[in-house]
């Protein structure tokens, strides 16, 4: 994908889609584990969004397709008081996303980008896309979402990055 720079924290373990599982748990009424086929059967949506990197580059007008975060919220029913969603990638990456940003209408668990399957270097098969925050919050290789009341820092947050990461407020460090 032209314009999108690839950042990874290390090698990404191989995956067969038949083995894929998305775990949704934590402080929820209904923990869920979805196979790839079950995930694809959920209502699908398209989101037109820009991605902004903390290193001061942006890519405008990206078309992501997948399942809206609001659908996931309805599926697992987070308990009252949840303030954070921790996203986990299969290569060990984590990031904390404020629940209010996760619940926005344009946050999507994307498996397609610009009409094509998500490229491996951009998170195949599944990427959390939070357009209202810097791209480090849009965790690639997504395998788990944990809803929690307590703030726990993820990979970049432990290294000094801002817990929220709103690009319009320039919340970098």
pLDDT digits (tens, 9 = 90+) for 106-146: 999 999 999 999 999 899 999 999 999 989 999 999 999 99
- Residue 131, classified by CB atoms within 10 Å of its CB into exposed (0-12), middle (13-18) or buried (19+), is buried
Nearest Cα neighbor of 77 from 36, 137, 32 is 32
Query: Has residue 28 got a pLDDT over 70?
Result: yes
Structural domains of the chain sorted by starting position, each given as residue range(s) with its CATH number in brackets: 20-155 (3.90.420.10)
Instruction: For residues 125 and 140, give the distance between their C-alpha atoms in angstroms, rounded to a whole number.
Output: 9
SS (H, E, C) 94-161: EEEEEHHHHCCCCCEEEEEECCEECCHHHCCCCEEECCCCCHHHCCCCEEEEEEECCCCCCCCHHHCC
The single-letter DSSP state of residue 28 is B
Query: Has residue 4 got a pLDDT over 80?
Result: no
Query: Has residue 166 got a pLDDT over 90?
Result: no
The model's pTM is 0.94
Residue identified by tokens 């970098």 is 172
Instruction: Please list, in sequence order, all residues whose beta carbon lies within 8 angstroms of the beta carbon of residue 11, skipping any fewer than 6 positions away.
Output: 91
- Residue 45, classified by CB atoms within 10 Å of its CB into exposed (0-12), middle (13-18) or buried (19+), is middle
């Amino acid at each position: 994908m032209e314009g999108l720079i690839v950042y990874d924290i290390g090698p990404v373990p191989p995956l067969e889609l038949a083995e894929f599982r998305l775990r949704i748990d934590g402080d929820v009424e209904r923990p869920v584990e979805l196979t790839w086929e079950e995930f694809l059967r959920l209502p699908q949506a398209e989101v037109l969004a820009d991605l902004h990197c903390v290193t001061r580059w942006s890519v405008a007008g990206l078309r992501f397709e997948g399942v809206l975060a609001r659908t996931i919220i309805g599926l697992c029913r987070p308990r009252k008081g949840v303030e954070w969603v921790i996203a986990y990638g299969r290569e060990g990456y984590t990031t904390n996303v404020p629940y209010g940003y996760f619940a926005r209408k344009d946050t999507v668990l994307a498996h397609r980008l610009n009409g094509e399957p998500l490229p491996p270097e951009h998170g195949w098969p599944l990427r959390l896309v939070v357009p209202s925050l810097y791209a480090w919050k849009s965790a690639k290789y997504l395998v788990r979402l944990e809803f929690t009341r307590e703030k726990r820092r993820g990979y970049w947050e432990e290294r000094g990055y801002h817990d929220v990461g709103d690009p319009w407020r320039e919340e970098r460090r």
